[in-house]
Structure 1
Amino acid sequence: MPKPATTPTVILVHGAFADAASWMGVIEELQRAGIAVVAPSNPLRGLASDAAYIASFAAQIDGPVVLVGHSYGGALITVAGATENVVGLVYVAGYVLEEGESLGELQGRFPESLLVSHLEERMYPIEGGGAAAEVTIRRDAFPAVFAADVSPAVTQVLAASQRPLAVSAFTEKASTAAWRTKPSWALVAAADQAINPEVERFGAQRAGATTVELEGASHAVAISRPKSVADLIREAVRTLA
């Protein structure tokens, strides 16, 4: 049975050091609730280009869209959310940027998280024959930094399969802040060691987002607490339908 045209499609945008499979439990919950959902692969090559990709993806969905961003994905939906058919934003342990603000500037307002001292840098080739830097989390530090409340066996897989983020993403400034014109929701992971939870709280409050906070939740909250994440997304969808 086709979904009503007024029911938003949910687009799940993963962040750095992860891939779309990190949404698996959330997708299962949403599909069980009859909500149309898709989780595209995030290029992780820079704020402007990644946001443009997500905006293009959203624009080609028939009907309204709710963008959900985890971690760095939050910065992307802040910009891509300006797309005409996007009707709401959901931040999951994510960055909620202001227009003209970068990830580094937002993070710089608060004490550093454990992530900062456990990044590993490598180079990758870029067009024109040059090279640029990208980072991943050191494997020995990955459990504590990213997924402290996930089983050790799963965490080992996550550490081995993490996708790197271009270093340039930390300094690029957001060209717009869609939360200024569209309703938003936010989930704060209170035990996050990748993003200081104060960064998440500050961004959510600044955006006037409807906010829930999960005690003991790590940065990998979509994996460890998929039902709680899906519940917040369902609330957004119900409100906007």
Structure 2
Amino acid sequence: MTTTPTALLVHGAFADAGSWAGVVAELQNQGIPVIAPPNPLRGLAADAAYVASVTAQIDGPVVLVGHSYGGAVISVAGTTENVVGLVYIAAYVPEEGESLGELQGRFPLSQLVSKLKEWTYPVDGGEAAVEVTIQAEAFPGIFAADVPAPVTKALALSQRPLAASSFTEPASAAAWKTKPSWALVAAADQAINPEVERFGAKRAGATIVELEGASHAVAVSRAKEVAALIRDAVRATS
């Protein structure tokens, strides 16, 4: 069994595991085991159960890393026995019993809220459910203002939709109450109000790093700094 924790990277809404590519490369260069599985984005309980299942099958300790909505996912999945730390990247950090809507409702809403496009998808034995993406024309400014335009265009066209129910589903656990945590605040985030990120991180007692000028896509635009925080968490929990 390895004693160096594996960094398990959980992407958020409107993105996929490829958004971690730069961070993965940095961590691998530093000899840190890493895995970036897909986040189903079908609801908080279901997504957390999936991530917890992947985590439990890893031999040795795990540091869970969540970007954006992925922060809510790791807050629940982080109760898995072999999780030794949590890292929040421009993320929601909900309390047990709190929904994302309730958390962000404490502060002025970001531009994201008014720029969502609704779609529907089939569910077994019921009516079609609603999922959301960011309107393509609004995506660059809201999600990735500090990412090169050609990359941003590709990201906008390859969004992974999030089930709309994810905003109202309460978190069933808050693993940060019993596991050490770290948080990166993207100070120029237009998808999540940075005050939401700061509030959640402070409430969790996280070690906080703030990056001026960083957009919501900070894992793409500032991969070295994101990887550095993850490295700190891995070293602290080894």
Assess same fold via TM > 0.5: yes
Identity of aligned residues (%): 75
**Using the alignment, how far apart are the partners of 2:4 and 2:67 within structure 1?**
22
Matched with 1:20 is 17
Which of 152, 164, 167 is residue 167 of structure 1 equivalent to?
164
Which of 2, 21, 26 is residue 5 of structure 1 equivalent to?
2
1:165-204 to 2 correspondences below 5 Å: 165-204=162-201
Matched with 1:116 is 113
Matching of residue 216 in structure 1 with residue 210 in structure 2: no
> Which residue type is aligned with residue 7 of structure 1?
T
Matched with 1:226 is 223
Which of 127, 132, 152 is residue 129 of structure 2 equivalent to?
132
Q: TM-score, normalised by structure 1?
A: 0.98
**Using the alignment, how far apart are the partners of 1:130 and 1:61 within structure 2?**
37
Matched with 2:202 is 205
**Using the alignment, how far apart are the partners of 2:24 and 2:120 within structure 1?**
33
Provide, for residues 24-48 of structure 1, a one-character-per-residue CA deviation record: whole Å limited to 9, x for no partner: 0000000000000000000000000
> Which residue type is aligned with residue 146 of structure 2?
D
Provide, for residues 33-69 of structure 1, a one-character-per-residue CA deviation record: whole Å limited to 9, x for no partner: 0000000000000000000000000000000000000
Deviation at 1:129, TM superposition (A): 4.4
C-alpha RMSD of the superposition: 0.6
Matched with 2:78 is 81
> Which residue type is aligned with residue 43 of structure 1?
P
**Using the alignment, how far apart are the partners of 2:167 and 2:113 within structure 1?**
12
Matched with 2:57 is 60
The unaligned stretches of length 5 or more in structure 1 are none
Deviation at 1:16, TM superposition (A): 0.1
**Using the alignment, how far apart are the partners of 1:171 and 1:225 within structure 2?**
30
**Using the alignment, how far apart are the partners of 1:166 and 1:100 within structure 2?**
19
Deviation at 1:239, TM superposition (A): 0.5
The unaligned stretches of length 5 or more in structure 2 are none
Which of 119, 139, 143 is residue 142 of structure 1 equivalent to?
139
Matched with 2:38 is 41
> Which residue type is aligned with residue 73 of structure 1?
G
Q: TM-score, normalised by structure 2?
A: 0.99
